[in-house]
Each structure stands twice: as C-alpha cells, then as structure tokens.
Amino acid sequence: MTTITTEAPAAPRAGETLGRYTVERVEALPEMQGTLVLLRHELGARHAHVIRADDNAAFGVTFPTVPSDSTGVAHILEHVVLMGSQRFPVPDPFFSMLPRSLNTFMNAMTASDWTTYPFSTRNEKDFFNLLSVYLDATFFPLMRYESFRQDGHRFEFETPDDPSTPLKLQGVVYNEMKGAMASPGAVMWRAFGKALYPDLTYANNSGGAPDAIPDLTYEDLRAFHAAHYHPSNAFFYTYGQLPLARILDAIENHVMSRFSPQTLDVSIPDQPAFAAPRQERATYPGTDQERGAQVLVGWKLGYSSDPDLNLRWSVLSDVLLGNPAAPLTRPLIESGLGSALADGSGYRDSFREGAFAAGLKGLPAGKAAEVEALVLGTLESIAQSGIEPELIESSLHQFEIAQKEVSNSGYPFALSVMFRLLGPWLYGGNPITGLRLDEQLTRLREDLARGPVFEPMLRDLLAGTHRVTLEVAPDPELAARAEADEAALVARLSAAFTDEDRQRIVADSLRLKELQGQESDPSVLPTLDLSDIPTAVSDVPYTTERAGRARIARAEQPTGGLTYLDVQVRLPALPDTLLDTLPLYTFAVTRSGAAGQDYVTLARRIEAVTGGVSASVGVGTPPDDLGALRLAVTFSGKALARNAPALVAVMRDLLTAPEFTRDRLEQLLKQRLAGLKASVVQSGNAYAERLAGAQLSVSGALNERLTGLSALNTLKGIVEGEGGLDDLLARFAQLREVILQGEPLIALTATPHDLHLDLTDLAGVFHGEAPVGRPAPAPLPRAPQARTTDAPVAFNAVAFQTVPYTHPDSPALLVLSRLLRSEYLLSEIREKGGAYGGGASFDTRDGLFTMSSYRDPHVARTFQVFRDARAFLNTPLGERELTEAVLSASKLLDPLTSPDTAGRMRVFGDHAGYTAAAQQAYKARLLTVTLDDLRRVMDTYLTPGQAAYGLVTGRDPNTLADVQALGLTFDVQSV
C-alpha cells in the first residue's frame, strides 16, 4: 500500500533548472500553508506545482481550445481522446481506469475556451498510473473513426442491419447536448456568450448545438487536435507532496521528448465595443409560459486577468447580489416581476473579458423591457445614493473566510486550487493572483479609505454601450419543431444516398457493433491490487458532554482559524401534513427573519459574522433495521473563530425564534419552485430512481416525498393554488415547536484554542421528553411510474429493496453495483445505446439497489438491458473484474475528508450506529466477496419480480409505445 505521506518537500529555487524545465518563480502561499512553483519547459509548456502537506495529490493538463463553430468539436474531442491511445489501445481507457484506481476525482471537461483533464488520488502508485494514462490519452490518442461515430454523431437505421427502417442520428454527445439544451439555464449561458461576444469564440456552442453537430467531420476533429493538443499550448498543474522532479521526469519521458517546438495561435482578440445596447432573444423547449421565461441584462467589462479589476468586480457583485438583502437582489425580487435571480446573474470571469449581469426568472414572456428598466434604475439609484460601508465590509469578510478555508467538501481542494489559478493564467495573467489576494485587498482597502470605489464603477457601467438585454423564453412547440427539424436534416443529408451508401451505413453500424462487442485486453493498463486498499477507517477523536436534553460533541481539527457548528435534531413523531412541510421549512428558515429582525436585517447579520448558515432535512436508518426510520433536521454554519459566539447566537435565533411573513414566504416558494423545475431536466435520473424506490420501502417513500417529484407537486399546489400560504404558515409554527422538542446532537469542530466555545444557550433551547419518531409513510403503488416533462431524452431507472448495512450480503451488493456499472451498463447503455450515462448504485444504509440511465434516447431497450444484467453475470468473469469491482467499491467506503468534515462525519456516524468498528467490519467483509457471492445476491434480491420501475421522459405520447412488449404498463403523470 503506497499512500502518500503528509510531509511537504522543500521547494526548488527561482532560476533553477530541472531537466529541460526552468523554475520561473517560487511564491509562498501562507493562507493554505503551501508554496507555488511556476516552471516553463523549452517547448513552451507551462507548469504550476503547489507544494502542500496534503495526502491528496492532483494533476491536470489544460489546453486553450477556441472553436470557430458550434459543431461541438472541442467537446467531442474531449470524449474521443479518452477512447484509446498509443500505449493503451483499449476502447475506453478512461472508463477502464475508474475501477482500477482509488482516485478521489477523475474527469474531463470542456468550457467555452478551454478543455481540461484533471484527477486526484491519495495513493502514490495510483497517481503515476493515472498520470501515464492521462498523458498518453491527451497527447497520443488513437482517435479511431469508430470512436468518433460512437461518441460524436453517426447515421444509423432504426434496425441497424435493415436499411428499409427509418434513418436516425445517433451519438453520445449528440444525445447529451439534446438533453442539455432543453435546460433554460444552459440555453441562457450559451445565448449570453453569443449575445455579449458575437465576434469571438464565445458565440459558438463549445458543447455542440444538436443541429450543427452533424456538420463535424472526422478530419475536422483530427485537425483540431493537432492545432490545440501540443505541449506549446499546454498548462500543466500538479499538487501535493510527491517529488516534483519525479513528476517532471514522467512528463518529459511520456510527452516532451517526443515533440518539437510549435507556434500555435489560440489567442482570443478583444470584442469590438457595441455602438449601442442590444436586445436578444432565445427559446428553449418548455411549456410553462406563465413562469418559464428569464431576462438578463449584461455588460462586457475589462480583462479577467487584471487582478485588481477581478477582485473589485467580485466584491461588488457579492455586495449587489450576494444575499437576499443585497441592494440589487432585494428590489428585483420584491418587484414581484419574477421569482428568483436569472441564471447567469453576477460577475463572470470565465470569459477573456469579464461580464456582469443581473436579471430575473420565473416570468411570463415579454417582460424584457420591464426587467431592463428595473435593473438599470436600481443600479442608478445605488450609484447615486452610495453603498453602505457595512455591506462592503461584510463582503470582504466573506473573502477572508474563502482565503482561510481548506475544504474537500463537494470537490477536492487540490482541484479547487487548480481552477482558481487557471482563471488568470489562461488569459495571460499571473496565476498567483488567483490564490493570493493580499496585495489586491490592501490596495482596495487603501482606495476605500480615500473615497468611493464601487459607485464610480457603477456609473461607468451604466454609461457603457456594450450592454445586452437577453430574454430566454419557453416555446411549447419547440420540441416538436426540433424533432421535425431533425427528421428534415436527416432527409436533407441523405437525399442523395444511393443503395451503396445505405449499405455502407449498415456496414459501418455492424462494424461499430462488432468493435463494441469485442473483448479488449485491459492488462495493458496499469492497475492497483487489493493490498493497495487502506485497511484503516478514520476514527477522529472527540469528546462528548451532556447539557440538558442535548449532547455536545467537540472535535479538534486543524481548521485554519474557522469554527464549524452543526446541530442535528432527531424529530419526534410527525403528522403526515408536517412531513411534506419539512423541506419547505428548512429552505425558508435561513432566508427569512428571526428574533425581531426581518429577513433583510438577518441576512446582513449572517453575512457580517458568519461564512453562511444552512438547514436541511435527512432520513436515517440504523445499521441493522431498514424499517426503523429516523427523521432529522440539521442546522449548520461556519465562522471565523473570533465570530464563533455570534454564530452560536444566529443558530439559536433560527431555532427558537424564526419569523415568517406571507409576502417573503411567497417569494421564497416561487424561487424554490423555479429551481426544482429546472432540476428535473438536469437530474432526471435521480428523480426516476426515487420514483422506483418509493414503491419498495418506507425509506424510499419518505425520500421521494421529501426530495422527489412528489415534493415538487406539493410545492406547485401551494404556489399555484389558493389559500396554501396561510395553511403553510400555521404548519411552520407547529414545526418550530416540534424541532425544539426533538433530541439534539451538537457537533463543534475547531482548533484546540477555539474548542471550548460556550454552547450553553444553544443547548438550553431544547425541552420536553418526546421520544424520537419512527415515520412510516405508505409506499407508492407497486406499478411502473412515469412522469413526463420538457425533455427530449429519457431517464430510466429500476430499483430493488435488499438488506441493511450489517447484513452479510450488503458488501456483495455494493461490489455488484460497481461491477455492473463498469463492465456491463457502460457498454450497453452508453456505447451501444448512445445515452450520455448509465450506471448502478447501492445505498448501503437504506438497502436500495438501483440501475439507471441519463439523457437516454431509448426506453424499452434500456429496461431490457436492466433485465439482462443477470445473463451478463453468466459470461466469463474472472479475478480482474472482481478485483476492480472491489477496488471501486472500497472508494465509496473511504471518502475524501478535510478538517471541516472529518469531525462531524465521525460524530454523526457514531450517533447513528455507523461506528468506526462497524465500518471496519464492513470493509473486511468487502475484501472477501467472491464472484459466486455476486451471482447469489442477484438471484436472491434482484429478480424481475422484485423490480420497481421509474421513468422521467418527454411529452411525446409515442415514447412508451414499445414498452408493452416488456409487459410494463406505466402510470403516466405530467410534471
């Protein structure tokens, strides 16, 4: 086992040479206790290395990519380069490495003007394994024609070997972008770039517009790679404490030694200024004409690489829009025109020349002039009356917290650092300005002391002519027109096809199918062994004490001067009506007023003394009983240690004295509804999984009611019905009392110096002796459930109820989910079926096993693939497949933590029964799972008769026509 130590090596000196690299600069990073080393290779490649005592090592290589059209060439190339390379000529080395690695992150992504390939891992052997695969993939891809056809676009007959059946367009990226461009947020972002920078690469859809993707040729793809994927155009990034010299040697041997210098022009010019403001309009396939439109007013600013300008617009954007009480946010929302800020609102430095925008969503169409007048008038008023110094100071306080915090929560910190420095670096600026703000903050404070800073910026903004007012509106007919346009495109492109051309399409389809079915030899890929799996389970020490009804846990962690506070309250028994109210309460409680302060005053208080507070609702089960549900509400917050007592006071007021007004609650619920509606098109697979799981168990039913489409329907009934708000306010008052009668566990995470924070007042608010409730809602009817929405693709799911955490079969089910994901579903659903994604998962705590697909052009075919999973287990499988599945499963048992999360995870895990000892026992059983175990648990728990089906799909009535052959009859409802 070669885990990485946590001792940072010494940094090289500026001017020193390491092989053919020259160290150009070495800078201390005191905020994160690290050092930045900037190097340049003789070929022109740039390399940023962050030395830091962190056992999670990271790598990334980024290429500026500037497409000149919307064929999706950069995005399709991102896919194709990961589908076989010179050293690793297997069909999908990227996906093959996922189960052969203990990575903490692996991905690739395409932005408007760059493409990046990052990974991170805590295992040294794994780091160099992944490094070799990533380097070979990006610089020496095979770029097979068949890979281009599979993931890009291709003609294929509905029955691939029958040219008399209808001709269709297929392709993973093609189907992905059909789904993506059904999202109003995605349409807004693409339209905004085109509207504000019409003469630059940002006018193009780098992901690919579905109607333009078929124009991309294989030759275009290869030419784009040759023009962009060269060391002279590469920005390398590494992080951690692995020896820099060894990393550079590996890159030299794998890549640099095989290239010669090349002059590349990937520059992006300045966008010529508009002579006068413009208005633009875009549409997306939607049916909500009353609340589905958005309007955004945006300006082009100066260079994103200017560190002072970047900081000042970041601060000003936060001042204007950063919280509900902000001086631009509040008038926009309280106008009643819309329900929430438009997608894209705020400062954006992801263009070479930055942008600022503000607007509203949740509008009927035709409101562009009103929103524009409101935005301009509000900004004019702010510029004239001035910005309160307290608001500026509160925003600077947030930047101080961001500078100090080191967190892996949601995303590895190692890669957060990469994206922070890439911003200025890629646009010709100094990468250190993305990591250190001291000089810019000092200059800003000095300028603020001399007089107004932000008001002149606003006056200049309002006087500028490079402004766009962009409306994005739903078009109920667009989906049908897009389908007709696709058919017309196919007809146009195939109009001159001869019988020979049709036979060639059949032959190409059969050839692709043959290649997809061929066994490859993954032994050419590097891998890990079971001995590389860490056997230890993190057992963070903490102390506990009783304070009345509350239990207080204090966990010592190196938090860098921040204090984290979590209050988890297990709830007593709740009536049915309050169950549906809980997610609305937790959404509204931190966005409303409290303790005599209205929402504006409280929001300003939270901004001034904390790094944010939140509330959430969760469902838990003990390790040995799936039926013994526990419902909990958790309040969480963080603050600089000097403000920890103020954080405690905020949390106490939110718990004991929340104040909800009818007008504010109506605003919040409209915001919530807009967000949930948008999430259906983006995360339809999760909703489909919840629909399936809700038919099987009380935990599945409860999760669906709290976070699924049932919750969306409940919210729609309140917002779009009559009288619902008054009833909801009464239920909110009941919930406050129920929460205070709950069983609280308070977790404090801080440095030793800050660990003795007085929590007496907070603990003392809980009273009563009500036992913890055991909610048991009725599952949905056991019938296939389908929900239709504004999506041109489908999200399919099947679920099975299995066993609790402590059952001996649970580890085998976890391993089975990883085996099916990597060895079966990826090939069948993505490669052969053309969906963007397909996978299997097993929730070890609620015992639900699911298989699902994402942005899928098929329904019946995919459900048949799910049913055929058992037959796949009868195919020749060996120790390699089993070992990789166990490796993949072990990653789920050993998540990446950081000082902010390690303490609370251990405290709450122990409290729920998932102790270090229980986790250790689970991991030990995992390492003994056999292939026979996998077949046995599938035959026991995952039979067709035990399956429950869920589906989220478009509104085309023909979508479900072919599922009858599977014996499935769906209960169809509209979202």
Which structure tokens are listed for 692? Answer: 């399936």
B/e letters for 137-156, b = 16+ CB within 10 Å, e = fewer, are bbbbbbbbbbbbbbbbbbbb
Residues with Cβ within 8 Å of 477's Cβ and at least 6 positions away in sequence, in order, are none
d(CA 891, CA 103): 8
Q: Please confirm, yes or no, whether 280 is among the known catalytic residues.
A: no
- Calpha distance 273→302 (Å, rounded): 11
Q: Which two tokens stand for residue 570?
A: 């297990």
Q: Please count the residues of the chain.
A: 975
Beta strands at 278-284 and 340-341: parallel, antiparallel or unpaired: unpaired
* DSSP calls for 370-430: HHHHHHHHHHHHHHHH---HHHHHHHHHHHHHHHH----SSS-HHHHHHHHHHHHHHTTS-
What are the E-state strand segments in 431-549? 467-474, 543-547
CA nearest 754: which of 840, 836, 644? 644
Whole-angstrom CA distances from 677 to 288, 665, 671, 718, 949 are 10, 18, 10, 15, 22
* Closest listed residue to residue 323, CA positions, set 621, 614, 32: 614
Six token digits for residue 708: 């699924």
Q: In degrees rounded to 5, what are phi and psi of residue 117?
A: -130, 90
Could you tell me the two tokens for 568? Answer: 């988890």
Q: Which residues pair with residue 360 across a beta bridge?
A: 295, 341
Catalytic residue of the set 7, 16, 78, 124: 78
Residue 900 CA: distances (Å) to CA of 121, 638, 842, 906, 909? 19, 9, 26, 12, 15
Distance CA 458, CA 461 (A): 5
What is the C-alpha to C-alpha distance for residues 340 and 317, in angstroms, rounded to an integer?
16
Say how far apart CA 471 and CA 368 lie, in whole Å: 6
Rounded to the nearest 10°, the torsion over CA 900, 905, 907, 913 is: 180
Beta bridge partner(s), residue 616: 634
User: Could you tell me if 650 and 606 are in contact, meaning their C-beta atoms sit under 8 angstroms apart?
Assistant: yes
If you search the block for the tokens 């999908």, which residue do you land on?
92
Give the span between the Cα atoms of 742 and 394, in whole angstroms.
34
Separation of alpha carbons 386 and 454, rounded Å? 8
Strand residue runs (E) in 580-657:
593-594, 613-620, 630-640
What's the CA gap between 344 and 190, in Å, rounded? 10
Compute and round to an integer the Cα radius of gyration of the chain.
28
The position carrying tokens 């890009």 is 152
What's the CA dihedral at 94, 95, 101, 105 to 10 degrees?
Answer: 80
Write the CA distances from 948 to 629, 698, 797, 832, integer angstroms: 21, 14, 8, 24
The residue type at 182: A
* Residue in the block written with tokens 């109506």: 666
> Any idea which residue has 């919750």 for tokens?
711
Active site residues: 78
